[in-house]
Structure 1
């Protein structure tokens, strides 16, 4: 299912969510300007490489050496294709504004980054030997979905739904839409465990870890009434 819009309107202007979308698109535009021989070292530098990141010690952060951990953030703004960034930004557009409204602007930005990092850590845990750079905002956006799942279960999502050889537009409950999305990630993640770690095309466990982290940290970050 492909979401088109939801039924909840935010009470405040979601400028952080819009800024994240604009920044992702801008970075992807700059990526397109790189030559093939420039793109690979660029992704090796700013993407999350599980085999490399798994060797890092948290003590480096305590000693002020944060540069090796920078890919945990930079990878969230890189994408591999137009379809990749288009799908991610569509989900962020539909669901992110209301989560920002519920958390508050600064908390939402912090929440987004933490969920993305948690997604990367989950991917590293299940693929510690992979040398393939992991890029994309999917883990962070999965965190947004986890928060939306808890905050707006009764909301309705207008979505494109494929039925056999046809596609129809219908409204579905957000709780059903997101539950189905999460189950599909888990099924694909379990299937991917039997695939060569350097052959996986999608970081399914980043989605799963991001969603779980989003649901957990939403409870901590949401504004008190």
Structure 2
């Protein structure tokens, strides 16, 4: 099932959500070559992606990780490595990776921005992304594999949404062979199911001698970001904005939660 919208209008134009989405698109097209320029994609992932072992100094210098098409990422000690927890959250590994993140952010991000204001939302988003990066490094501090994606920061948005709007209906696209349906489901069901899937995928990593990224997905970054969003939302939320949203929603839709 895929989220396509929610029954949760905003009172203010989500300018920061649009700017972040635009930044992700800009980086993907003009820095990563939109996935069509293999060298640009490999270079961006290697140089600007986050390598846990480079941050901790526990991956051997010179160790190479194949990236496909004859390219490899080599562990180094460049100064840029210290900035990669931030730069990596604006990069993606492919069109599917990008579009999946954009879709979730499009559905859930505007309401969280609307609840706290634009500048607070930017700080919240980046902080959740950094916590997500820290969680990924903590799980596998020796990994030489570069990690990219906005998933950790967006997971923080999902965690915040669960706290603020658990009963709001999310319209989920259900596709089963020739059956296509849009099914409204409470946000708490959608988001808790998503989080449980991350845990099911991530827990086996803690039981192995070398917990590599599961299926190429840094699930502990998702888990860390989600928990950070739940924990931080009350510090960032603007009570005046949320009370305005609640009053307006009850006036316009008295039967909605």
Secondary structure of the 1:131 match is coil
What residue number does 1:203 align with? 218
Residues 48, 80 of structure 2: 8 Å contact kept: no
Residues 48, 81 of structure 2: 8 Å contact kept: no
- Asked whether 1:71 is paired with 2:73, we answer no
What residue number does 2:53 align with? 51
Report the count of equivalent residues.
216
What residue number does 1:60 align with? none
**Superposition pairs for residues 150-161 of structure 1, below 5 Å?**
150-161=163-174
* Structure 2 unmatched ranges of 5 or more: 59-78, 241-257
Equivalent-residue separation in structure 1 for 2:5 and 2:217 (angstroms): 25
Cα displacement (A) at 1:168: 2.6
Cα displacement (A) at 1:130: 1.0
What residue number does 1:215 align with? 230
What residue number does 1:179 align with? 192
Equivalent-residue separation in structure 2 for 1:37 and 1:181 (angstroms): 34
Equivalent-residue separation in structure 1 for 2:145 and 2:91 (angstroms): 14
1:147 to 146, 155, 160: 160
- Asked whether 1:128 is paired with 2:128, we answer no
**Superposition pairs for residues 105-120 of structure 1, below 5 Å?**
105-120=118-133
- Asked whether 1:32 is paired with 2:33, we answer yes
Secondary structure of the 2:239 match is coil
Closer, same or farther in 2 for the Cα pair 1:148/1:199, shift >3 Å?
closer
Cα displacement (A) at 1:44: 1.9
Cα displacement (A) at 1:199: 6.8
Equivalent-residue separation in structure 1 for 2:174 and 2:220 (angstroms): 24
Equivalent-residue separation in structure 2 for 1:192 and 1:183 (angstroms): 15
Equivalent-residue separation in structure 1 for 2:187 and 2:163 (angstroms): 10
Equivalent-residue separation in structure 2 for 1:166 and 1:187 (angstroms): 28
Residues 76, 137 of structure 1: 8 Å contact kept: yes
Give the root-mean-square deviation of aligned CA atoms. 2.1
TM-score by length of 1: 0.89
Secondary structure of the 1:202 match is coil
What residue number does 1:61 align with? none
Residues 112, 143 of structure 1: 8 Å contact kept: yes
What residue number does 2:96 align with? 83
**Higher gyration radius (CA):** 2
Closer, same or farther in 2 for the Cα pair 1:157/1:135, shift >3 Å?
same
